[in-house]
A and B are shown apart, each in its own frame.
Chain A
Amino acid sequence: MRTFGYTDFWFILEAAQWTVMLSLIAFAGGGVVGLIVALSRTAESPLARTLSVGFIQLFRGTPLLLQLFLVFFGAPVIGLDVNPWAAAAVALTLNSGAFLGEIWRGCIEAIPRGQWEAAEALGLSYRHKMRDVVLPQALKIAVPPTVGYLVQIVKGTSLAAIIGFTELTRAGQIINNATFQPMLVFSVVAVVYFLLCWPLSLLASYMERRLALSLTR
Chain B
Amino acid sequence: MLLHGTWMTIQLSFLAMLFGLLLAIVCAWGKTAGPAPARWLINAYIEVIRNTPFLVQLFFFFFALPAVGVRWSPYTAALVAMVFNLGAYATEIVRAGIESIPKGQVEAGLALNLSRLDIFRFVILKPALKAIYPALTSQFILLMLASSVVSVISADDLTSVAANLQSETFRSFEIYIVITVIYLLLTLAFSYVFRLVFQWGLNYPDRR
Which chain A residues have a beta carbon within 8 Å of chain B's beta carbons? 57-58, 61-67, 69-70, 73-74, 76-77, 151, 154-159, 161-162, 169, 172-173, 176, 181-183, 185-187, 189-190, 193-194, 197-198, 201
Contacts and interface: CB of A to CB of B under 8 A. Distances in A.
Q: Which 3 A-B pairs have the closest CB atoms?
A: A158-B53, A197-B51, A182-B63
Contacts, number: 117
Contact of B149 (A70, A74, A159): A159
Contacts of B54: 155, 158
Contacts of A157: 53
Nearest to B62: A182
Contact of A162 (B66, B152, B176): B152
Contacts of A58: 184
The interface residues of chain B, by DSSP majority, are classed as: helix
13 contacts: A61-B145, A61-B183, A74-B173, A158-B56, A169-B55, A182-B63, A186-B59, A187-B60, A189-B56, A197-B52, A198-B47, A201-B50, A201-B51
B36 interface: no
Interface in B75-117: none
B68 interface: yes
Interface string B155-189: 00001001000000000110011011001100110
B179 A193 contact: no
Contacts of A197: 50-52
A77 B187 contact: no
Contact of B53 (A173, A183, A193): A193
B48 interface: yes
